[in-house]
Homo-oligomer: A and B are copies of this chain.
Amino acid sequence: MSTDNKKKEGLVPEPSLRRMPTYLAYLKMAKNQNQQFVSSTHIARDMGVDPTQVTKDLSYTSIVGKTRVGYEVEPLINILEEFLGFRTIDEAYLFGAGSLGNALLLDHGLSQFGLKIVAAFDVDANIIGKEIAGVPIYHMDDFHKMQEEKQVNIGILTVPSEYAQKVAHDIVDGGIKGIWNFTPMRIRLGEDVVVQDTSLYAHLAVMFNRMQYLKK
């Protein structure tokens, strides 16, 4: 009797996934320096992590290393990018074109990582109808209509915290399957939606806490 109760069975560990983009950044630098191979030993030394952790992390992808040589840089970059979903561009809507939303709209970097913001939604009459970095800003009320024409899966949530839950619920209703949540609020949604919390304040909290131990 297979207890396939949808627990995280065989999922790639989240810590590994989080480390992979840092390997990618390292590898791109190695490529720029015309290195053809890198070993886990070198990656680990340069990045200040454990070499077996590098090997284990990379083993979740399809790359195979060569004993006494390491990994071939260019294929590894390609495989990692493919594995992480940075190669296929996903379209996204941005909800809340305020301070942080603007920054994300202005960022050229995101498209290199597989994300393209195709429209923004807000409720502030002063900005609706305008464009930021070529991305049009619509009223929230137009969201459902837009979704009928153009099915977009990903929503970037940068509204004020107090509206996070409401807006999240609303956009999932409209067919959004993945929410990149920048508010410090946890949002509660069904099992069929992925919510990725990215609270900058969480990182600040960790930094402050760890710094306390230095000061002594």
Residues of A whose CB lies within 8 Å of any CB of B are 11-12, 14, 17-22, 24-26, 29, 32, 46-49, 84-86, 90, 99-100, 102-104, 106-110, 113-115, 153-154, 161-162, 177-178, 180, 183-186, 188, 192-194, 196-214
Q: In the complex the two chains form, what is the Cα distance from A193 to B200 in whole Å?
A: 20
A188 neighbours in B (Cβ, 8 Å): 46-48
Nearest B residue to A203 via CB reads B198
Closest to A161 in B: B25
Residues on B with beta carbons closer than 8 Å to the beta carbon of A203: 18, 180, 196-198
Instruction: Name the distance in Å between A82's Cβ and chain B's nearest Cβ.
Output: 11
Chain B: minimal CB distance from A99 (Å) = 5
In the complex, chain B residues whose CB is within 8 Å of the CB of A197 = 22, 203
Main secondary structure of the interface of A (DSSP, over half): helix
Asked if A21 contacts B100 (CB within 8 A), the reply is: no
CB within 8 Å for A206 and B199 given contacts A99-B108, A100-B103, A184-B24: no
Question: In the complex, which residues of chain B have a beta carbon less than 8 angstroms from the beta carbon of A214?
Answer: 177-178, 192-194
* Contact partners of A207 in chain B: CB under 8 A: 154, 178, 180, 194, 196
How far, in angstroms, from A17 to B186 measured CA to CA in the complex? 15
Contacts of A178 in B (CB 8 A): 207-208, 210-211, 214
If the complex has contacts A22-B184, A113-B204, are A209 and B12 also in contact, measured as CB distance less than 8 A?
A: yes
Q: Are A21 and B114 in contact, CB atoms less than 8 angstroms apart?
A: no
CA of A154 to CA of B177, assembled, Å: 37
> Across the interface, do B21 and A205 meet the contact criterion of CB distance under 8 Å?
yes
6 nearest A-B residue pairs (beta carbon): A103-B103, A85-B208, A196-B207, A25-B184, A47-B186, A18-B202
Contacts of A48 in B (CB 8 A): 186, 188
CA distance A112 to B110 in the complex (A): 28
Shortest distance in angstroms between A90's beta carbon and chain B's nearest beta carbon? 7
Q: A47-B188, A99-B109, A196-B206 are in contact. List 5 more A-B contacts (CB 8 A).
A: A22-B202, A25-B184, A49-B186, A99-B103, A194-B210
B residues less than 8 Å from A24 (CB atoms): 184
